[in-house]
Copies of this chain bind each other. A is one copy, B any other.
Amino acid sequence: MEQADINIKPKKMGQIITTAEDLFQRFGFKRITIEEICSKAEVSKMTFYKYFQNKNELIKCIMDNWLGHIVKGLEDVSKMDITFTEKIRILLRLKEETNAKISKEFILEYMNPDNDMRIYFREFYDRAISIFIEFIKTAQFRGEVRKDIKPEFLIAMLNKMIEMAKDEPLVQLYPRAADFSLEINNFFYCGILPLETLDNRNDEKK
């Protein structure tokens, strides 16, 4: 999927991005130095500066990749000819993935007032959210989601559900993790489906 895009890029550039992405996600942007990225990516510093002006440009590049990934993911889901239940399941996974990226560490740095990247972070966050909202609006237009629900509310709901999925004692109630995620999924599905389609729901499930 994203593979194709990466392959067009020079090999070393790809190594830098992949390594940096991993390090940034684990330790946050601030803690990682260019030199650490280079040595882990097995690339010399000179090569780094050949492809990126500085660390911030690399960060922007990576965050743009993230956005692209979300956009593409949602576009693909939109096009897919599957039940909306399935779509929600994929959406959930995508949101969870995004959350992992915009994690504590990210938020922390984003909050820091004396960070040059602050404006860019805010922009990224807003765009990510608005992409999700756009997706939901489309679904509302198609009649897959009740029209009187605020998309922003759904986003908040998604986040809460992802939190729930991390609540160990809760998950333990289910014989296997998959059962729990199905439960969450179904709850979501039943709660947002337009009223007029309530009758066909059971048929659709089969």
Contact = CB atoms under 8 A, between A and B. Distances in A.
A176 B31 CA distance: 38
Contact of A175 (B27, B31, B172, B176): B176
Interface string A124-136: 0000000000000
Copy total for this chain: 2
Interface of A: 27, 31, 172, 175-176
7 contacts: A27-B27, A27-B31, A31-B31, A172-B176, A175-B175, A175-B176, A176-B176
A116 to B, nearest CB: 19
A200 to B, nearest CB: 33
A27 B175 CA distance: 34
Nearest to A27: B27
Nearest to A31: B31
A185 B27 CA distance: 34
A16 to B, nearest CB: 20
Contacts of A172: 176
Contacts of A31: 27, 31
Nearest to A168: B177
A184 to B, nearest CB: 18
Contacts of A176: 172, 175-176
Contacts of A175: 175-176
A172 B172 CA distance: 14
A175 B180 CA distance: 12
A176 B27 CA distance: 32
